[in-house]
Structures are given as C-alpha cells and as structure tokens.
A and B are shown apart, each in its own frame.
Chain A
Amino acid sequence: MRLRWTLATMAGVAVLAAGSLAFVQSQDGAAAQEVAPSTSRDQPIAFPHNIHAGDNRIDCKYCHFSAERSKSAGIPPVATCMGCHTVVAGRNNPEEIVKLREYWDRGEAIPWVRIYKVSEHVQFPHMRHVAAGLDCTACHGQVQEIGVITRVVQPLSMGWCLDCHVSQGASRDCTVCHY
C-alpha cells in the first residue's frame, strides 16, 4: 500500500512542471491572485502606452478609433501609426520604430498580442460605456503610466462588472451581456 502510494506520488510529481512546485512553495503568501489573470507574452513591437497616452497626451480614441460608435474599441491600423512615425523616429527606442516601418513597407499587419479579453459568451459594447461617461481607465487602469502592457491587472470577472453596474444603476439583467 505504502509502496503504491509512493510510486503514485513520484509519477505525479514527475509529471508536474517545476513551476507548479515553485507555486506551491509560494502558497503561503497571497500570490494566487497574481497569477490568475491573463498571460504575459512579448508584443511584436514594444509599444509604450506611457509615452503616447502619458507624455504626449494623445487621446485614447485617436488610436482606438471606434470606441465611441462600436462594440469594438478598434485597434489602430498600421496607417494610423505611420501618420506620426513617418517623421517621428522615436528617441527612446528607435529600433522599435524601425520594426514598425518594416511592417508598413511590407504592407503587413502587426500581429499584436491580445491582452484584454472578456469571455466569448460576453458581449461588451464599448460605445455604451463611453456614452455613459466612463473613462477608459475605469476598466483598463492607468494605462498612461504603464510602458508595455503585458497583463491584465483588473479581474475582468462578472462580479467586478456587476459591482459597477449596481453602483451606477446600470442594468443587472443577464441578457444585457449574455446572448
């Protein structure tokens, strides 16, 4: 009996990735919440939101062009980037601008890694939230202070949505978002 248990344990442990064990060791702390939300993957171009939205105070909706009129906020076409970067060469990371121009010259779209995503059974209309006077930072955080966004810090959970819906007097009906 004892032998079998040991074998099972060894087999189980062998299957586990080292990362999981490291995770267990940190279980005592409150780290569990940190890991749960999204992923961290390298963006094709290290786009710094803090330089654009922070230092240069470009309005979010200049690039995310359809947030006011569509469910989708809109990811800027390469042409939008080139509107400035035809002349702006970038002081801090000129090599990133070079990458951008290469995409443009090749006529290729930039395959951005998606960071913010609600589940597929949720319909999130950006325009209704913008129309309600909500600031982008209410859901996306202080984007203007973050360099390259690699992960979601908000829970993006239903309870989190509902907290705001309740406090703002917005609908709590399920079929407002789920259909």
Chain B
Amino acid sequence: MSEGLKRRDFLKVLGVSGAGATLAGCSTEVERIIPYVVPPEEITPGVATWYATVNPEVGYGCGIWVRTREGRAVKIEGNPAHPVNRGALDARAHSAIQALYNPDRYRSPMVREGDSLRPISWEEAEGLLADRLRGAANPTLITGRSGPSLSALVDRVVTAAGGTRVRYEALSEAPLREATRIAFGRNSVPTFDVESSRLVVSFGADFLEGWISPVEHTRGFAAMSGARQDGAKGKLVFIGARLPLTGLNADEWLPIRPGTEGIVALAMANVLARGGADAGPYAALLQSYDPATAARHSGIPAEVIEALAQEFGASGASLALPPGFTGHHRHATASNLAVLVLNAVAGNVGRSVRVDVADEEAFSAPFSDMDRAIRTMREGGSGAVLVHGANPAYSIPAAAGFVDAFRQVPFKVSFASAPDETSALCDLILPDAHFLEGWGDSNPRPGIWAVQQPVMRPVPHFDSRSTGDVLLSTLRRLGSEPGAASFRDFVRGRWQELHASTADAGGFESFWRETLRTGVATLAAPAASPAALQAPDAALTFDPPAFDGAEGDLFLQVHPSGRLGDGRFANRPWLLELPDSVSKIAWHSWVEMHPDTARERRLRNGDVVRLRTAHGELEVPVWTYAGIRPDTVALAMGGGHEHYGRFADGNGVNAMRLLAAEVESPSGALVTQALRVSVEGTGARIRHATIEGSADDRDRPIVPAVAVADLGHGASHTAEGGHGHGLYELQGGGGFIPVPTEGRPEDFPLEGARYGDYDPAVNPRWAMAIDLDKCTGCSACVVACQSENNVPWVGEDQVRMGRDMGWIRVERYWKEVDATHAGPVDVRFLPMMCQHCGNAPCEPVCPVYAAYHTPEGINGQVYNRCVGTRYCANNCPYKVRVFNWYGYTDVPEPMNWAYNPDVTVRANGVMEKCSFCTQRIREAQNRAVLEGREVRDGDIVTACQQSCPAEAIVFGNIRDPQSRVAQVSDNERTYRVLDYLINTQPGVNYLKKVTFHAVDGGH
C-alpha cells in the first residue's frame, strides 16, 4: 500500500478528507425551518412588532415600547406618547431584557424540604399557599412598588386572609411626603418642574440619577440648562457634602457639612422674608435662622448664602429641590420642610412645585411599618409572611434583625421571579412572571394611566405565573369570589370602572384598545387647588442632627447606586459593566474619599480599607474623589449580594451592613446618614475595574468649553476649537476605477477615473451632532447601544485589562471641582464612539480591507473579513475599536434570546465598533424603497439618540443643509475632537459645553 500511495497523494487525501469532514460535519447539523401551524396575525417573520407597555421597575413608571421579533422581546425603547418620559429611558429601563431572559430565574414553583428546594406544580403550590394561609394567624404581606390593580388585589387578599399589609421601599421618600403633609396639609410627594425653571438649587437630591423621576428630570434639566441660540442658559446650584451625578452637572457647589441643608434653606428663606416675601406661619421661625447662623453650622460663608438667596428671589423662575436620599438623617423631615418653606416663600408653590395628590404610596413607604412588622415576627405574631417586589433581607440594615425575625415565621412565601436574599429564606417560592410577560397598570400621577401588557408569551424556560393570577386563585381557594377569571380580566374590570368615571363618550372597547395601542391614557386629573403654607403640627428641630462615632472619624454617606439602585438591578451584566457615571468604575464597590484625606491617612487610590461603625464593618477599596468633603466618605448601595444570581453575587459590598436600624420621627423613614465611620488601611491593594484612561485632558481641546459671556462673539472660532467648514473625505482606494497611467503629475485627475460608488452627489454623508451642554453623563446611551448592537459584556477582570467592549463610552474630565469652599463646578462629559472619520487612520492599516470607508461616509467594519490583526485599534486616536479576545457572546441560555437578529453576533478574534446603527439605516432605506420615496430626515434614529433623555444626540445626512444634524452643527460651539491635530475629519460634531465662569483660551 505504501508503494502505491506517495506522500503527495497522501497530502491530497488528507486535504480532501479535511474538506469532507467539514462537509460531513455540516450535513449532520441539518437546520430546520419551523413554520407556524396557524400564523399569528400580528407577526411577519423578519419584521419587528412593537408593543406599548410600562416599566414598573424604574422611577415613576416609564412608558415603553418593546420591539419583538418572531414573538420574543429584543429591545426596549421609550414611549414618546408617555408624558413622564416622552420617549427617553435611563440605563436601568433598558436592562429589563436581561431580567426577562436571566438564566438565574426560578424555573418552577418550589417548596422547601430541609436545606433544599423541590420543584412542584402550580396546582400543588397554590393549594399549599391557601391551606397554610387558612390556618395562619395574622398573615403578613410585604409588598414593594406595585401598580394600582395589583395593589387593590393584594388588599383584598389581605382582607380575605385576615392579615396585615406592609409596604416596603428601600429608597423611600417618606420624609418628603411627611414634610409636604406638614407644610401644605396634603399627603403626597410633590412634582418638581425643572424644565421651566431658570435657577435650580438642589439641596442634595440626585434628581438626574435615581431620585423620583430621573428621565423626566434629565429632559427638563437639559432643556433648562442647555444653552439656547440666544445664549440664555439656566443655572444649577448643588448643595451637599458630596457631588453625585447631578452635582457634576451643577454650575456651582456649596459643599456644606452633612445634615445642614435645612438650615441653609431656612437662611435663604430668611433673606427673602427680610426682603418682603411672605413666609406665612413660618415668619417667626425664620427669624432665628439668618445666614450667619447657617454659615456657622454649614461652613459656607454667610455672604455666599445671602447672594444665592438674592439670586433665587430675583430669578423669577426658581426651584429648590429637597435633600433626597442623602438627607435621611435624624432631622430629615425638618430638612425637607425647610426646602418646601423656601419654595413657598419664593412663590414657587403652584408653579415649579406642584402639590397634587399622587398615589404612589409604596414610593414613600415609611420604614417604621416594616420595623413594627419585624417586631411582630420576632414575637411570633405572624403565622405566615408573603413577600412580593421587595428584598428586605438584603436592603434592611442587619441591625434591624429582619433575617432572624423572618426565620421564626412558620411559613414564608416569596413571589420573586429570580432568587434573592429574602427568597433564600422562604419555604415556598411562587415565581412571578416578568413584567414583560404579564398584565398590570400604573398611575404615575393624577390623570395619567398606563396599561402594562404582556409583549410575549412567558419565556418557556421558566414556569412562572403572574402574581396577580396566583392571588386571584388564592382568593377563590379562600372562599372569596374575586369576580375575574384572570388577572387580565381583573385589570380590565378596574379600567372599565375607571372609564365609567370619565366623560369619554366612546365605548369602553375602543378606549381599551386605544390604550393598549398607545400605552397610555390621559384622563382628566382632579382639579388641583392652590396649596398654602400651614403652621407645623409637629414639633420639629431644624438644627443639625447628631452623628454617632468617634471625633476623628469621617461622616459616612450611603447613597443609592446610579446603576444598581438599592441593589435590585444587580444581576444584570449590562448594568454591572456599565461604568458608574461619577467614578467610571464597573462591577465592584469603592469608597469615595477626598484626596487630601487620603494623603493624610497615607492611603492611595485602590488601597483596600476597613470601614467600621458600631454596627458592622466592610472592606472596600478607596477611590479618591475631589467632589466629596474631606470630612466625609461615601459608599454606594447595591453591591455585596449573596443570593442574587451568578452575575451579582460576590461583587462589591453591601453598604447597609454598616448602618443602624434607627427610625426618623415623625416620617418613620430609616435613618441612613447618622454615623461616622473609622477608616483604616488593610495593606491590601487592588486595581479598579475602570474604563478611565485619564480624567485630565492635559489642556488639549478634547472637551473645550465656552463661557456664556463669550457666546455670540465668535471667540471660540479658533483654529483648534471651532470651525464652520464642511466635512472633507478622502474617498479611499475602493472608490476609484483604476486607470493605466505613466504617473506624470500633469496627468491627474486621470482621464476615465471616476468616483464609482463614491459619488458625493448621490450619496448621503451620515453624521452626528452631540450637544455637550445638554449631555448629563447619565449613560443611558451606553446600555441602549449594548442592547441594540449585541455588544457583549466581558466581566470585571477583563475590564481591568482594558478589554471592555462598549461601542460608546461616556468620558468624564475634571476641570474644576473643589470641596474646600463654595465655588464653580466644571466637569465635562464626552460620549465617545467611532467618529466615522472622513480620513480614518484605521482604514489604510487594515491588511484585509475589513475596515474601509463606505460611500455613505461611514467607517465600515466587515466582521467576516476581519482576521484580528488589531492594527486598526492601535492606529485609532479615539480608542473606540474593541476586540473580541474571547467568545464573549457565548451567553447562558436563554440570554441569547436577547440578541438583536438584525445585527451579526461577533465571534472571538474579531474587531468591532460603533456602526452608526447601520442596521437602522438599512431598515429605513428598505422601508423608503417599499413606500416608493426617499429616506427622510428623522427616519433614522440611532439607538443612543433614541434613548437620550437630554436629546443631546442628533443623527442624519449632513450633506443635506436642511437636515437637523446640519442645522444643529451649524453653531459657533461646534468642534471635532482632535481634528485640528491629525486631520481625521470626524463625522461626529460636538457642541461645546457652556459655562458661567470664564474658561481659558476657549477650552
């Protein structure tokens, strides 16, 4: 045989058999096409179907549109018809997709047997629940935020079972509600109109990130503070011990001593009252709080407070925002009241502060109710406890003893759809459907109603059931006829009553169908009567609250995380990997400390320290931050989970471990800001998982700004910064037809050479304009892009190695942040994505033409051509190209269901970057062709642009002078990053930030 078969032949056989093996491999994997048996009317394969619903997880219930493909949800976008968020979303709202397809969700109802949980059927589980409820003394239902229909149903179940209901919300606004009741006699949380104000003073509320309704506030703030063409610009002053994201967007900062915001507010009201403003029943009180007193307590000079008060009174459209979560100290209600009094004295009530009757009760649920329930549980007074929409075992300070008391309850039930620290203690798990799979409703404020409808069949991997349906079945089993076959009918029934109470002439059916289509119904709100100040009916102390702890220790500020909230969003990799908007750190926790304090204590950025209070201790790395007072340290909530899922567990620390379980009087809120903490080095050190290269632009005009006084004077038209020039493009080799030539200079341009596909007369030039004066750095665009473009997450260690995959990142540069005295703040945000250069450095270095220039001006990246040399990334001056070092896209089933089928899922070894949402461009072009028309300006909305609450991003064809992007770019503030230096001709025009203070040399 060896005689007959030569080496050459052998190689031939080997080569061919290789091909044969590949073919055989293919042919064993036969791909099946599974058609519908009966086609659903609303689905066309390959075409997206959108449903309107509501996201009950975030703020005041944002209206959303959900894009579904072949019956599965793939992307969430804001509902433009919803008056709260008007089409925009924050980062957290996008991430609901990752909760829907989260592999850690419970796969069926479970019952505890010893240490483990055993899957059971729903029939069995519901039967067990009813049996145990029947026999239990005082069953207690702990509920978090829930819509009006579910809330009503819970109340009926509580009545039928003869039990108690406890509302619990870790991020409660109880002090604000109580202060509003005291000030105006109304039990509500006021609404604040940022948009129509000219001067906003926040006494601590982080209203751009997490506080009450951040999307709405961000939109309002951008409209208020974004410079208009005439140079008018609203102003934000931030008062607080630490700058949260809102503070980074402020124009001035008064770094007060913790707990003194109420006194500063009263002093400002005092100044206004002295000037003749009416302080009503508070006139006498104000007299004892003059600016000198406030200066003594707060550490801010009296003349600064005096001047701010004068400006506040003269502004004509002012607004003071309450202290928010970081003001939950021992005199929280008094502080909130002081801010409301200031608003009333300045005449803002009824204008920028509206005290209507809102019914988001859970939103301001006082902790005192929970505290009482814990005592009852400990004393054996609750025969059964049911928990829905809350995770008290995690979010209540350990000192409150919830876990021990809860363990003593004989029968504990959780409705959690995925494991959490509370359900880990429970005897029966009845996994709730995700909100995208179930019915519900929301009533964010008087007159605004929204239906939550399922956008897809329940994800088949998880045998979940909507809690509404479980409660209905429980009612039936308890012998009380609920009057509805399903929770959908229940919701519909309530909406029928709602409709009957309105003057709508049309029938209910058309009203219901229209509401399902648009996602929101605006009904006549009860007429708001003017609110007037009332004399306080409770004894309140406005003096600074006491802080526990040794004298040399630092004030501890615990605040909600911008990404993870109180920890409820912690099992979503998109949010874990989203860099924090302030620190730019992803995945783990950190404690913020002023650089001077760190130096004094011989600590460096990244040193792991031990934080110790009388109630607990934690080890966490230091992040030095100039935006915090030297006597204060800050720690975000949301980390340190133990039973929350594979992504959340073990990341960071749980700040609540350090706190006492103290209740504020009279609001009943949990006091979170009353401690000093001892900080000592452990000797250990870590490198932060941060995406930040440098926070200093080293005086290169990367993020130039212009002073408001210089606007309109053309001062920014420097060679570096601005330019009114068009966008040039080098067409690249691909566009020209080669023509033979001797190469003599006088032969050019060559006879017969032509543009080929690259004809500027027929092609658009896609470009973007980003107004940095509107951008607040909220990072909603980052998660929107991840969801749209199948951008993977890589994990903490990979981020640390600089392998983060984000196609867009929000860079943050420090210019002016000083915690030692009152003064201007200047922090600049720069959303950075591929600049789609007209003369791109990445293109000529690609050996395989994977990076190339498209005729439409986009810097194209062809994944199937890329061989992974990474030359392009090395030659990119903007660091926007990212490389798949591993198969990051192999995600656990069913997370792959979240992939957008219109975008290629990239394998390892491939370079990728922002594509200007090419798939959306193609979709718009396809639609235009089918409709027999040209693509119109505004047809193409990129994912980042769609999500932006500040409306800072505009996209379109810049060759068309009528397009919005061309018109927005035609501005004296326009500049292109690094263009002056390397002639890259970027397709992204930035509009400079506008500052009140003078800036050097136009940047």
Interface residues of A (CB under 8 A from B): 2, 5-6, 8-10, 12-13, 15-17, 19-21, 23-24, 27, 35, 39, 41, 66, 69-72, 74-80, 103-104, 107-114, 117, 119-121, 123, 125-128, 131, 171-176, 178-179
Contacts and interface: CB of A to CB of B under 8 A. Distances in A.
B37 interface: yes
A121 B2 CA distance: 44
Nearest to A108: B37
A10 B38 contact: no
A20 B918 contact: no
7 contacts: A8-B10, A70-B45, A103-B37, A173-B854, A175-B858, A175-B915, A179-B922
> Which of B863, B919, B922 lies at the interface centre, i.e. has the most chain A CB atoms within 10 A of its CB?
B922
Interface stretch (B19-27, B126-134, B597-605): B19-27
Contact of A125 (B20, B757, B926): B926
Nearest to B858: A175
A71 B919 CA distance: 12
Contacts of A16: 13, 17, 20
A140 to B, nearest CB: 15
B38 A12 contact: no
Contact of B35 (A110, A119, A176): A110
A39 B27 contact: yes
B1 interface: yes
Nearest to A110: B35
> Which of B1, B34, B46, B865 lies at the interface centre, i.e. has the most chain A CB atoms within 10 A of its CB?
B46
A111 B32 CA distance: 6
B33 A175 contact: no
A119 B32 CA distance: 15
A96 to B, nearest CB: 17
Given A112-B35, A173-B860, A175-B918, A128 B926 contact: yes
A179 B36 contact: no
Contacts of A117: 31
A33 to B, nearest CB: 13
B558 to A, nearest CB: 45
Given A15-B17, A77-B39, 11 more contacts: A2-B2, A12-B13, A13-B1, A39-B23, A74-B45, A75-B33, A112-B32, A121-B863, A127-B930, A128-B929, A175-B918
A12 B926 CA distance: 52
Contacts of B864: 119, 121, 178
Contacts of A12: 10, 13-14
Contact of A17 (B20, B34, B44, B45): B20
Contacts of A79: 36-39
Interface residues of B, number: 52
Contact of B915 (A13, A66, A176, A179): A179
Contacts of B555: none
Contacts of B615: none
Contact of A20 (B20, B757, B905, B922): B20
A175 B860 contact: yes
Contacts of A74: 44-46
Contacts of B856: 173
A168 B278 CA distance: 78
Interface of B: 1-2, 5, 7, 9-10, 12-14, 16-17, 20, 23-24, 26-27, 30-39, 44-47, 757, 852, 854-856, 858, 860, 862-865, 902-905, 915, 918-919, 922, 926, 929-930
Contacts of B24: 17
Given A176-B922, A178-B862, A21 B46 contact: no
Contacts of B919: 123, 179
Given A9-B1, A176-B922, A23 B16 contact: yes
B918 A109 contact: no
Contacts of B20: 16-17, 19-20, 23
A86 to B, nearest CB: 14
A171 B33 CA distance: 30
Contacts of B1: 6, 9-10, 13
A171 B858 contact: no
A24 B30 contact: no
A126 B903 CA distance: 17
> Which of B757, B856, B926 lies at the interface centre, i.e. has the most chain A CB atoms within 10 A of its CB?
B926
A131 B930 contact: yes
B16 A179 contact: no
Nearest to A2: B2
Contacts of A20: 13, 16-17, 20
Contacts of B5: 9, 13
B854 A69 contact: no
Contact of A9 (B2, B862, B863): B2
Given A114-B31, A127-B930, A128-B929, A66 B37 contact: no
Contacts of A119: 864
B45 A9 contact: no
A175 B44 contact: no
Contacts of A104: 37
Contacts of A110: 35
> Which of B33, B919, B922, B930 lies at the interface centre, i.e. has the most chain A CB atoms within 10 A of its CB?
B33
Contacts of B26: 39
Contacts of A179: 903-904, 915, 918-919, 922
A6 B27 CA distance: 32
